[in-house]
A and B are shown apart, each in its own frame.
Chain A
Amino acid sequence: MIGGFTKRLGRELNDLKNNPAVGISVFQANDFRIWLIDIKVMDDNPIYAGKTFRLQFRFASSYPIEAPEVQFVASYGIEIPVHPHIYSNGHICLDVLGSGWSPVQTVASVAMSIQSMLAGNDRNERPPDDARYVAHAPISPKNTRFVYHDDTV
């Protein structure tokens, strides 16, 4: 698998464009470093209804052996979704992005996990330690050792 990771990302990009999952679309993917993926929550969860959120994926050459770095980014008219596992700086506490990563996961599968994490949420609130975390958070969420909350939220 020489050149493996750009080749694989090329395939993933084709897939994302040709067979997109409902509510997931590529906003920008000009290279193999950073992609911006827009997601919408499809069921009528009142917390996220009508809103589009933007995920930023950063890839290293170790992808997909190592997880990509994934976080929400704010932009004009685009906010960081409110969720008990999503910090206001966009960092996401989700095991698939850390210890739960497997190289058979894809950008699409990660986006879908996050989409369903939003869909299943009924608490319109930030994590309890949001202020403390955001004040001291590393630039990359991958350098945070999240203690994963249980998934029943």
Chain B
Amino acid sequence: MDADITDPSDWLSTPLSSLSTLDALLRCRICRDLYTAPMVTECAHSFCSLCIRKCIAATPASEHPCCPICRAAVTEVKLRRNQVVEEVVGWFRAGAREGLLSVAREGGKGRKRARVDDQDEKRSEAASSAAAEVRRSTRARPTAYVVSTSSSTSLLTITSSYQEIPPSPEPTTDGAYVNLDDDDDGLVPCPVCDKRMTVKQVTRHIDSCLSLKANTSSSSSTTPSSSTSTKPKTLLASSSTTPPHQKRLPKIQYSMLSEPKLRQKLQDLKIPSHGNKQALQARHSEWVSIWNANVDRSVPRAKTQLLRELAAWEESLDRFPAGSRVSAEGLEEWGVKHKGDFRELIAQARRNLPKRAEAKAEVEGEAELESDKAAE
């Protein structure tokens, strides 16, 4: 059940074990996933929009919501988007992570040309078997990873300010440097498309290659390569096809509303409106979180996708109820009985959707559903 969950520890068995730190820094501390629509709090901590909104929604009315990390007071309307983190995560998730990881794993296998000096070998015995061929320069030149495989050598300049990132918990491979001079053709493969080119070219090429890949896989009618600005196309691609629901939903004082009035609110929002007041309240609150978190995405998803998310939430509520007050069988029956509600609403929302927006959102949605399945 745990094979396909990406995790910072994925890097530890590779020569690029230090990247587990970067990987961990790009994850929300609540869901442990790469950030989705990261929001920064007043205390400067970041969480996925949905995670922090759910957290705030779950705070008892008698208490002030607080930051899950430092417990400073948090006010929902003061959450701000963390744009740069979102862009970095978008780049990382769109293929860079996978590409780098596969390069790293390759590097871990072929270690023919490793040059290891004695001192270093002593220091990192545990890591040496897997990581011998990768050495990080700690000298004045830009920080670089060198990965030798039997057929090729690729150099990935990660960042020149690498040293600021705290060291990984694994024995590291600090200290030594492997020269590139024993290269056969001087060319290296792009970690994404495998095309061979010079080291200089590859650093520039990766960005365009990644956004190209993202665009073709989403099969949406996005602007072609004309807009090769510094902005990642993966994030801006469908600003023209964004569904027109950009307004946040207000919170409700549930204690002030009668059950019929609350039910009417759910009907107005075109979400399922069955169940008692407690069920209505929980569903409405969840929907407000899902909806508002969606507004925080640079590429909001279609309502069909949000309805599916609500349905998934309701299903997990049935499968993993809090406490043991209701019998499991009863809940399952209830779930089956009302599943039709969601199906009908999703179909409805789909019919109402502009065609192009739907194409985009569907592809996104599917990718996400797949990663969910993989997680289970």
Contacts and interface: CB of A to CB of B under 8 A. Distances in A.
B277 interface: no
A75 interface: no
Contacts of A3: 312, 316, 372, 375-376
Contact of A61 (B7, B48, B58, B313): B313
A104 B9 CA distance: 18
Given A10-B2, A13-B2, A62-B322, A4 B33 contact: yes
The secondary-structure label for the interface of chain B is loop
B30 A60 contact: no
Contacts of A61: 313, 316-317, 319-322
A67 to B, nearest CB: 10
A2 B320 contact: no
A2 B69 contact: no
Contacts of B97: none
Contacts of B321: 60-61
Given A3-B376, A66-B322, A14 B68 contact: no
Interface string A78-113: 000000000000000000000000111000000000
Interface residues of B, number: 37
B323 A142 contact: yes
Interface residues of A, number: 33
B368 interface: yes
B320 A65 contact: no
With a 10 A CB-CB cut-off, give which of A1, A32, A33 has the most chain B CB atoms: A1
Given A11-B7, A33-B320, A62 B31 contact: no
Contacts of B122: none
Which of A6, A11, A32 lies at the interface centre, i.e. has the most chain B CB atoms within 10 A of its CB? A11
Given A61-B316, A61-B320, A65-B58, A1 B68 contact: no
A32 B201 CA distance: 47
A148 to B, nearest CB: 15
B337 interface: no
A143 interface: yes
Contacts of A13: 2
A102 B31 contact: no
Given A1-B48, A69-B323, 5 more contacts: A11-B2, A14-B9, A32-B320, A61-B317, A103-B68
Interface of B: 1-2, 5, 7, 9, 28-33, 36, 48, 50-51, 54-55, 58, 68-69, 71, 309, 312-313, 316-317, 319-324, 368-369, 372, 375-376
Interface of A: 1-8, 10-15, 18-19, 32-33, 59-62, 64-66, 69, 102-104, 139-140, 142-143
29 contacts: A1-B31, A2-B309, A2-B368, A3-B312, A3-B372, A3-B376, A4-B31, A6-B316, A6-B376, A7-B5, A7-B32, A7-B33, A11-B5, A14-B9, A60-B320, A60-B323, A61-B313, A61-B316, A61-B321, A62-B58, A65-B55, A69-B323, A102-B68, A103-B68, A104-B30, A104-B68, A104-B69, A140-B323, A143-B323
